[in-house]
Chains A and B, each alone.
Chain A
Amino acid sequence: MITKAVIMVGGGSRGTRFRPLALDQAKIMFPIAGKPLLAHTIDAILTVPTINEIILIGFYDPGVFTEFILDFNTKMKYQSRDCYLKYLKEFKALGTAGGLYHFREEILRGNPDGFLVVHGDIICSFPFIEMIEAYEKKAAEKGGIEAMLFGVKLTNYDLFMALSGSEQSSFGTIVSEDNGKVIHYVEKPESKISDIINGGIYIFNESLFRRLSNAKISKITIANDNTTFETVDEDVISMEKDVLHFLPDSGKTFVYEYKGFWRAIKTPSDALWANELYLDKVFQTKTGQSSVIHRASINIEPPVFIHPSATIHFQNGTKIGPYVSIGANVTIGAGTRIYNSIILDNCEIGQNSFVRNSILSLDCKIGNWARIEGTGVNLVSINEIVKKNGPTKIKKVLDAESSRVIGIKDSGNICILGSGTHIGDDLYVLNSFILPSKSIKDDVKYEIIM
């Protein structure tokens, strides 16, 4: 029985690629569709009834999670659900698997038959129940297996790679037989080897730690070998290079194929994709906080999340949606239009303003007749481009789009206002990043404002 889940929350890189939003809060706690990124993962894990312990491993300051963990454990108690959440902080950034090795005793306590390992920065529909069933079935069939990998089968490989940008195209690739047996794993291949990529979710068992300790031993050996000039940090272990790479050799690792939406959240523009995907999911399945998911009306084009404490003046043709998340205590003036955007807590937006493809961090203040606009593509517009140009030309189209970006790598042509940004009346902010606590008095186009 699978009773434990481990979420690798990261924190080692200080979220440089998630700036300027990472300056306001930890990426993993960034709210999407009304709750932190982490909560989406945890809520999905809770759908597995046998899970009774969730362990967060990472390098963030524990304060980042204190309140969240306290709330969670209280809620579980109140709901009589036997599940406990805790955070284990690495003594230094230990890589994608070093934390698992370091906290092996915590993970193995109670002798679980197996445990889930999930990377905290991915979003998808998390079919944990199905994956666990597949694992247990395969284990029974084969008399025990070593691991099951969550393989994302790409329906449009070219589109996915084009959308992932230069750095994101470096995914692990899984090659498997028809029965699901993994026969080859390559990290960051330069060419297309398979259309199944590593989705960052695994089911492991005790045998993982043999591999981790082997990796550890070989690192120590290299580190202590005076005959080479190679420098190795013996504490850092890579899941991809030190574990997954060797798994196919034993022939006891299988893949769970998944075909739904999937994305790794690296940059702020990924957060907008996550917002779009999660809002669609919540709206279509009518799960979660249905009271705050609004129905279509003259003012609302769903899916839209509006926190109950937000004040929206629905006069004069105010129009919100689709794909808008509005946080607590936000005020939005009459005649304002917002779509495909995330508005965090305590923001104030004036009248007759326009916000599109943008993220407004906490406490921003926008005047009347202001326009905050990203011109980037979202999923809806991607589908239109694919329809118009055919799937093979997508990369060309997207390159043409992104070549218009000036000075902002990975920006995806969106607008981000750091916390406490003030934008005056009548101003236009186009495809720009504004760092926290700035007062903007002139139009800003394709700029980063320090």
Chain B
Amino acid sequence: MKGLILVGGYGTRLRPLTLSLPKPLVEFGNRPMILHQIEALANAGCTDIVLAVNYKPEVMVGALKQYEKEYGVSITFSVEEEPLGTAGPLKLAEKILKKDNTPIFVLNSDVICEYPLRDLLDFHNAHGGEATIVATKVDEPSKYGVIVHDRDVPNLIERFVEKPVEFVGNRINAGIYVLNPSVIDLIEMRPTSIEHETFPILVEQKKLYSFDLPGYWMDVGQPKDFLSGMCLYLSALTKKNSKLLTSTSEEYVNGGNVLIDPSAKIGKGCKIGPNVVIGPNCIIGDGVRIQRSTILKNSQIKDHAWVKSTIVGWNSTVGKWARLEGVTVLGEDVTVKDEVYVNGGKVLPHKSIKDNVETPQIIM
């Protein structure tokens, strides 16, 4: 089995975090984002994983070497000279992806979900088509491309409707696919879109099916959704009674869904949660209140600070009685001075914030 992860470009939507670290390595739930996908692929029996990237930072090469060993997989970078869209990278990595006759998983690196890849594979093998799209249900289908099914054959896709004005269904493409190797033959070696060019051919051939994704789904490519996705991920861990989560019997845990690395230190009289991730070696002072936030590793939140809907970047410091909220994102090594209020500030790395930031803005 083989898998392709569409990583793409610089992850500009997740700046200022991605100014310091390539997006796949930014920790989501205390693990690099790409690791969630690599682990899912490895668990589904993949031995070859291709990362489709526009650029190849050294730091990623090193990190992935380590994961190769950990999960017993071979990871190859497929570097695009120019962006090849969502289908082009498959053609580019043809050699690896077509080396045997087993189906290929394609994952979008921004998507977070439970990755039921084995069930997906069973489904794919059972229907006999050439490809399967994972579909997720959304509240507002009018913002997406909606899947419309065949009336007679269950799960067979009849057509796609882009941003429908009238309600035609609420299943959308979740950015996860299983393809037979033969699908690659439909793709030309140029920038192409799998959604708009490849799939319509398969629809015509009546060989494209969809699989309903159980559980949550979120594109976590930007800070607001990163936090929403974090809430979904933590809720899913709670549902599974995951041992990763910090026990709700801890005095400081409020409302559950709290994931704290064992190396982090928590002060007296804190109230943490719901929906909080605290990374390794973080130091949380006394009387600190944190909700709906991710604190990345080696950061310090000083006494009496109040943090909500915020991502605190690596090695950052939040001062005493500071208050962060409104999807504030602190880049790496940012200092928020004592007593300062930051609402929706996107703070670039190595900055020091001395005055209140009352309205959402970028702090260069």
Residues of A near any B CB (own CB < 8 A): 316-317, 334-337, 351-352, 354, 356, 368-369, 371, 373, 375, 404, 426, 428, 430, 445
Contacts and interface: CB of A to CB of B under 8 A. Distances in A.
Contact of B303 (A316, A356, A368, A375): A316
Contact of A371 (B268, B269, B271, B323): B323
Given A317-B303, A335-B287, A426-B289, A354 B339 contact: yes
B287 A334 contact: yes
Nearest to B303: A317
Nearest to B267: A316
A356 B289 contact: no
Nearest to A445: B358
Interface in B305-338: 306, 308, 320-321, 323, 325
Contact of B287 (A352, A371, A404, A426): A352
Nearest to B322: A354
Contacts of B287: 316-317, 334-335, 351-352
Nearest to B338: A337
B289 A354 contact: no
B303 A428 contact: no
Contacts of A371: 306, 321, 323, 341
Contacts of A428: 323, 325, 341
B286 interface: yes
B339 A351 contact: no
Interface of A is mostly: loop
Interface residues of B, number: 19
B356 interface: yes
Contacts of B339: 337, 354, 356
26 contacts: A316-B269, A316-B287, A316-B303, A317-B286, A317-B287, A317-B303, A317-B320, A336-B304, A337-B304, A337-B320, A337-B321, A352-B287, A352-B304, A352-B306, A352-B321, A354-B304, A354-B323, A354-B339, A368-B289, A369-B271, A371-B306, A371-B321, A371-B341, A373-B341, A404-B358, A430-B358
B288 to A, nearest CB: 8
Contact of B289 (A336, A369, A373): A369
Contacts of B358: 375, 404, 430, 445
A371 B320 CA distance: 13
Contacts of A426: 289, 306, 308
B286 A335 contact: yes
A150 B271 CA distance: 56
A426 B320 CA distance: 15
Given A334-B287, A445-B358, 7 more contacts: A316-B269, A335-B269, A335-B287, A352-B288, A368-B289, A428-B325, A430-B358
B192 to A, nearest CB: 48
Contacts of A369: 271, 289, 304, 306
What 5 A-B pairs come out closest when comparing CB atoms? A335-B287, A352-B287, A352-B304, A369-B289, A354-B321
A371 B289 CA distance: 12
A365 B341 CA distance: 22
Contacts of A356: 339
Contacts of B341: 371, 373, 428, 430
Highest count of chain A CB atoms <10 Å: which of B268, B287, B356 = B287
Interface string B341-357: 10000000000000010
A352 B289 CA distance: 9
B199 to A, nearest CB: 46
Nearest to B269: A316
A368 to B, nearest CB: 8
B123 to A, nearest CB: 45
Given A351-B287, A352-B287, A334 B303 contact: no
A61 to B, nearest CB: 41
A369 B304 CA distance: 8
B266 to A, nearest CB: 14
Contacts of B271: 368-369
Contacts of A351: 269, 287
Given A351-B287, A369-B271, A371-B341, A335 B306 contact: no
Contacts of B321: 337, 352, 354, 371
Contacts of B286: 316-317, 335
Contact of B304 (A335, A373, A445): A335
Contacts of A354: 304, 321, 323, 339
B269 A334 contact: yes
Interface in B70-116: none
A352 B271 CA distance: 11
Contacts of A373: 341
Nearest to B304: A352
Contacts of B289: 352, 368-369, 426
A8 B76 CA distance: 87
Given A337-B304, A430-B358, A352 B323 contact: no
A335 B303 contact: yes
Contacts of B356: 375
B323 A316 contact: no
A336 B269 CA distance: 13
Highest count of chain B CB atoms <10 Å: which of A336, A337, A445 = A337
A16 B339 CA distance: 33
B268 A316 contact: yes
Highest count of chain A CB atoms <10 Å: which of B304, B339, B341 = B304
A268 B303 CA distance: 31
Interface in B267-288: 268-269, 271, 286-288
Contacts of B288: 352
B16 to A, nearest CB: 24
Highest count of chain B CB atoms <10 Å: which of A317, A373, A430 = A317
B339 to A, nearest CB: 7
Contacts of A430: 341, 358
A354 B303 CA distance: 12
A188 B110 CA distance: 66
B269 to A, nearest CB: 6
B309 to A, nearest CB: 12
Nearest to A337: B321
Nearest to A317: B303
Nearest to A354: B321
B63 to A, nearest CB: 37
Contacts of B304: 316-317, 335-337, 352, 354, 369
Nearest to A375: B356
A421 B320 CA distance: 26
